[in-house]
Structure 1
Amino acid sequence: MTNVYPQTQSPPPQPQVVVVQQGGVAPQTNAVLAWISCLCFFWPIGLVAVLKANEADKCIGRGDFEGGRRSGEAAKKWAIAAIVTPIVLMVVAGIIYYIVFAVLASKAVASVQTFDWN
């Protein structure tokens, strides 16, 4: 009995790729802080923090831990700026309000003192 099927050769072995991860822990993206600063404080600056945290996450996903660390630190700085900005604005607005109130009150007192009651 003859073999009806032609003999096939097995394909050559495929080259194997070995990926070696860098040692250490992935850096923080500070995404939670960025989202809190965006949603609860000053959103224009918080949005930049969210974008930087997203960039850090993408860098870490590619294996670029140094880029992820830099973007994560930038996200943290932008988030802190988004938290501090409304506090500074409220203090400045309070000072302006106090000055305006003091000027108007002093003018009211001066007009009452110079009013001729007779």
Structure 2
Amino acid sequence: MLENAGYDQNEDEYTEKNASFVLGVPSTYQMTSPQQEPEHLTCKPVTELTNTEVVMRQPQPGPVMNIIQKPLPNHIVPALFVCCMFWPTGLVAVYFAFKTRNLKLSGDYGNAKKMSDCARKWIIATICIGLILGFFSVIVYYAGMMILYSKNK
């Protein structure tokens, strides 16, 4: 009597058509008698288990991406230095260098990177212009000295 406690139906009323709905397992795995049950579905005592250990744990978060950002150069010192070489473009380089610093301090790293690249380009342009003008000044100076030296002879 205790075996059937809580169940209203007899074993005779349990038919094959109801077998596919028990515990949501497909009917191919549900058998009407325990003798026909496949080996992989039977409960084995602990002594019959193999050495395979099953470890259950909660899912862990996925890989964490640590973004290591290189420090963003603001180019203030080189921009101030190139102002001595050619001041018109040097001042533009100084403007972009200070703009980079202000954007970096406000947390806008995308625009700060753009301004830093722009300041770097203006510094390079100023250096090139300064070297070209310096080269021509030396040539004009020596050409003038040669003309003066030739007139004095």
The C-alpha deviation readout for 1:40-97, integer Å capped at 9, x for no partner, is: 3111111101100111111111211121111111111111222221220132344456
| Matched residue count | 87
Note if 1:33 corresponds to 2:78.
Answer: yes
Q: Which residue of 1 aligns with 2:95?
A: 51
Decide which of 93, 111, 123 is 1:67's aligned counterpart: 111
Of Structure 1 and Structure 2, which has the larger fraction of its residues in helix?
1
Structure showing greater Rg: 2
* Contact 1:31/1:50, CA 8 A, preserved across alignment: yes
Q: Which amino acid aligns with 1:87?
A: L
Q: 1:86 to 1:60 in 2, by over 3 A?
A: same
Q: Which residue of 2 aligns with 1:82?
A: 126
What is the aligned-residue RMSD (CA, Å)?
2.8
The C-alpha deviation readout for 1:1-50, integer Å capped at 9, x for no partner, is: xxxxxxxxxxxxxxxxxxxxx94244111111111112x31111111011
Q: Which amino acid aligns with 2:108?
A: D
* Contact 1:29/1:73, CA 8 A, preserved across alignment: no
- What residue ranges of structure 1 are gaps of 5+ in the alignment? 1-21, 109-118
Distance 2:122 2:107 in 1: 23
Identity level (%): 32
TM-score scaled to structure 2, two decimals?
Answer: 0.45
TM-score scaled to structure 1, two decimals?
Answer: 0.56
For CA contacts below 8 A with separation 6 or more, give which structure has more relative contact order.
1
Q: 1:61 to 1:86 in 2, by over 3 A?
A: same
